[in-house]
Chains A and B, each alone.
Chain A
Amino acid sequence: MNHNNLGNVAIIIPAFNETVVLTESLKSALTLVSREDLYVVDDGSKDNTLLLALQFTKNILHVPSSQGKAKAINAAIKHFNLVGKYEYILPLDADTKVSPDFLQHTVPVLEADTDEKYICVIGKVNGSSHNWLTSYRMWEYEISQRIHKAAQEKERAIIVCSGCATLYRSSLFSKIEFPTDTVTEDMDLTFLIHRQSLGQIAFAPKATVITQDPFTLSDYINQVKRWNRGFWQCLKKHNAPWGGKMLDFELALSATEGLASGVLVLLLLILSPLIFYKQWSFLAIPFVFDFFIFFLPSIYYTMFVQSNDKIFKYIPLFYFLRGLNSVIFLYSFICSLFHLNKLSKWKHVARYRMEGAI
């Protein structure tokens, strides 16, 4: 039982070389549950992750060589028999700080659902604005969750249950486990839930977590490559968007828009000299349209809801990142189409110390 008498919740944190961030993550987890309900998987770490975790809980599963996040969580669920012991399971990332009221906003959704129509509740992922890259990610999180995910919930077609912010009914893991054959196990699991009709997915935006986003451009590119690669892997694996469900409609929408955006960016890069030399100003229409109808309002919206005006000064750099994202999306599609597996390997992202309360 957690501190707030809200359900019977186990928290699992898989960790691979996470000494820099693990303390803050474990401290935040202990604001939700007691030490007995906190489980850590040391996924073959070479640093002091294991010793650090031992200071917070005795429930530690040590895996000699790194297996990856999905296998680590699956192993912990089996090893500690969490399905039999708990009603709910909350997997967190080692670089994630969860808000103290996370369970207050998620558990009641599942408790009130006596017919057990809902299989999980997703919280909202927040970033923290340290530099231009993390500020960009903050803007992306606002748009992708407050608008896209909120609408997808109404359509009953949420395309991804965030890996670091989803409370599951433990019964789910008696039927399926985290898939291990794609690089985005959280999206793959979400597709499985839809395809096998295992239950509905709720979104609770008041339940928040803060995650660490890449600090450097190379880490950022690697992460975006992995996410995009995972997106195409999941589409192929689950025969999307040809399944005839709302999920397929949403995926077709995302894929079409992403590809169109990639082609548009490439075209603009190639044709932009003509805007100046040949005075072909009509080529600038996408820029103007995009800036006033989409980009600027969404930036103001993010600044308002996050009470952060630093974002505004990064607008030119945001355009660079948007272009980069579109090109990576297109590239990963081509790699997926021609079975090039260059992007599927997970690379460890550099961590930085997390400070302060959430």
Chain B
Amino acid sequence: MYTGFTLLNGFSLYFHVLILATFKCAAMLRPSLTKISNINIFTYRLEFVRE
């Protein structure tokens, strides 16, 4: 529990780095994907916007 609490400190940074990295990979595969429209935490799916 103590370690979990420690991880919470700085969690948003790790989360945002993950978002940027995921987006970078997705954009390399599909350049038309420009924004994330939704993050479905129940299905672990990122839903992208096509532009």
Contacts and interface: CB of A to CB of B under 8 A. Distances in A.
Interface of A: 143, 147-148, 150-156, 246, 249, 253-254, 256-257, 260-261, 264, 282, 285-286, 289-290, 293-294, 298
Contacts of A156: 35-37
Given A147-B17, A148-B16, A257-B8, A155 B36 contact: yes
A154 B11 contact: no
12 contacts: A147-B16, A148-B16, A151-B16, A154-B19, A154-B20, A154-B36, A155-B19, A253-B11, A253-B15, A257-B11, A285-B3, A289-B7
Contacts of B39: 155, 246, 249
Contacts of A152: 16
Residues of B contacting A: mostly: helix
Interface string B1-41: 01101111111110111011001000000000001111100
Given A282-B2, A285-B3, A293 B16 contact: no
Contacts of A285: 2-3, 6
Given A147-B17, A150-B20, A293 B35 contact: no
A151 B37 CA distance: 12
Contact of A151 (B6, B19, B38): B19
Contacts of A150: 16, 20
